[in-house]
């Protein structure tokens, strides 16, 4: 499987309002092909809405989204999304779930995608017998089988236990490095964002409040540099930087970035 190069994305001054409620305002986000961006923020900050608009499931009320420099109209064939719940079709066997939405050579492509997520031996089973983590791996295989150039991840690991999460994070990173697609991960877990993303974007009250590049080598380990980024982002979210000068000062000279 070879997805080719990733897709470039340009979100220009996008806003979204549901009636009188403005969820997003003048959001700007540009992504290079193959880049991995994480969008973090408190619940209700509009991060999922942003992802749904990029997926073509919702239309922006203002502004425009460009993919590969073309304006985006609705659902794009080379964009795939992974939801928080796996959304597997309970009436299809695992392999047929993976094959949903691929036409040519569906069976072989699906088998290959299942192999990538390490679930080849479960191909003939019903989704209901799988664990939560396995279901998300099937959902990941289904997303990859379509050879996306942009993969959208809407808190796909939110419902998983801590160990399965770490496994899934490594799997996603590995496949992203191999396949070269662009990826956007929406999460409220700052640590997860720092572990995976080239850039972390913080949304606050519908606006981009922070856009920070993560200059750490991959695979990332939870060293001081990691903790620094986590701290900076968390402080910005929680607004505690001024309130806890002692902690910030104490940590400041333990980093070397």
Partner 1 sequence: MRFPLKSRGLAHAIPWSIPILVILVWQVLGDWGIISTRVLPTPVHVLEAAVQLVQDGELFDYTAASAKRALIGFLIGGSLGFFLGLINGVFPPAEKLLDTSVQMVRTIPHLALIPLVILWFGIGEEAKLFLVALGVLFPIYVNTFHGIRTVDHGLIEMGRVYGLRGFALFWNIILPGALPSILVGVRYALGVMWMSLIVAETIASDSGIGYMATNAREFMQMDVVVLSILLYALLGKLSDGIAKAIERRWLQWHPSYSKQ
Contact 183, 151 (CB under 8 A): yes
Measured CA to CA, the distance from residue 139 to residue 130 in angstroms comes to 12
Residues 237 and 190: beta-carbon distance below 8 Å: yes
**Smallest separation (angstroms) from partner 1 to the CB of 243:** 40
Q: Does 55 bind partner 1 (CB under 8 A)?
A: yes
What is the closest distance, in whole angstroms, from the C-beta atom of residue 94 to partner 1 in the complex? Answer: 11
Q: Which residue has the tokens 């990941």?
A: 140
Residues 72-91 that bind partner 1 (CB under 8 A): 75, 77, 79-81, 83, 85, 87, 89-91
Nearest distance, CB of residue 185 and partner 1, angstroms: 17
* Closest CB to partner 1 among residues 128, 253: 128
Cα 179 from Cα 193, distance rounded (Å): 20
> How many positions of this chain bind partner 1 (CB under 8 A)?
21
Taking contact as CB under 8 A, which single stretch among the options 40-48, 50-58, 204-212, 225-233 is the one that binds partner 1?
50-58
User: Among residues 125 and 235, whose Cβ is nearest to partner 1?
Assistant: 125
Instruction: Read off φ and ψ for residue 249, nearest 5 degrees.
Output: -65, -45
Query: Between 23 and 144, whose beta carbon lies closer to partner 1?
Result: 144
Closest CA to 94 of 154, 57, 135: 135
Tell which positions 143-202 bind partner 1, by CB under 8 A: 146
**Nearer to partner 1 among residue 66 and residue 126 (C-beta):** 126
Q: CA–CA distance from 54 to each of 67, 83, 145, 196, 204 (Å)?
A: 9, 14, 20, 20, 18
CB atoms within 10 A of CB 255: 13
CA dist., res. 151 & res. 78, Å (int): 9
Q: Pattern of binders to partner 1 over 106-145, x per CB under 8 A?
A: --------------------x-x-------------x---
- Report the residue number, 26 or 131, with the smaller CB distance to partner 1: 131
Alpha-carbon distance of 245 to 187, in angstroms, equals 27
Residue 246 engages partner 1 in binding (rule: CB under 8 A):
no
CB of 225 to partner 1, least distance (A): 36
What letters, b where the CB count within 10 A reaches 16 and e where it falls short, cover 115-147?
A: ebbebeebbeeebeebeebbbbbbbbbbbbbbb
Indicate whether 100 belongs to the interface with partner 1 (CB under 8 A): yes
Report, in Å, the least distance between residue 57 CB and partner 1. Answer: 6
How far CA 229 is from CA of 19, 39, 43, in Å, comes to: 37, 14, 20
Give me the residues that bind partner 1 (CB under 8 A), please. 55-57, 75, 77, 79-81, 83, 85, 87, 89-92, 100-101, 126, 128, 142, 146
């Amino acid at each position: 499987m070879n997805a080719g190069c990733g897709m470039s994305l340009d979100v220009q001054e996008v806003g979204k309002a549901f009636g009188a409620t403005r969820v997003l305002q003048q959001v700007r986000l540009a992504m290079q092909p193959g880049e991995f961006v994480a969008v973090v923020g408190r619940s209700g900050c509009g991060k999922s809405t942003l992802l749904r608009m990029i997926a073509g499931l919702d239309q922006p009320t203002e502004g425009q989204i460009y993919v590969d420099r073309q304006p985006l109209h609705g659902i794009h064939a080379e964009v795939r999304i992974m939801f928080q719940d796996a959304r597997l079709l309970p009436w299809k066997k695992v392999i047929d779930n993976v094959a949903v939405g691929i036409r040519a050579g569906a069976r072989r492509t699906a088998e290959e995608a299942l192999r990538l997520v390490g679930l080849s031996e479960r191909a003939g089973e019903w989704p209901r017998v799988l664990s939560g983590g396995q279901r998300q791996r099937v959902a990941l295989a289904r997303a990859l089988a379509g050879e996306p150039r942009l993969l959208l991840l809407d808190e796909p690991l939110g419902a998983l236990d801590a160990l399965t999460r770490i496994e899934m994070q490594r799997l996603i990173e590995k496949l992203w490095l191999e396949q070269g697609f662009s990826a956007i991960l929406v999460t409220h877990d700052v640590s997860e964002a720092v572990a995976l993303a080239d850039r972390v974007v913080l949304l606050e009250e519908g606006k981009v409040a922070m856009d920070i590049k993560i200059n750490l080598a991959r695979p990332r380990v939870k060293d001081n540099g990691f903790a620094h980024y986590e701290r900076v982002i968390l402080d910005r979210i929680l607004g505690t930087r001024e309130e806890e000068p002692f902690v910030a000062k104490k940590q400041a000279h333990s980093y070397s970035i």
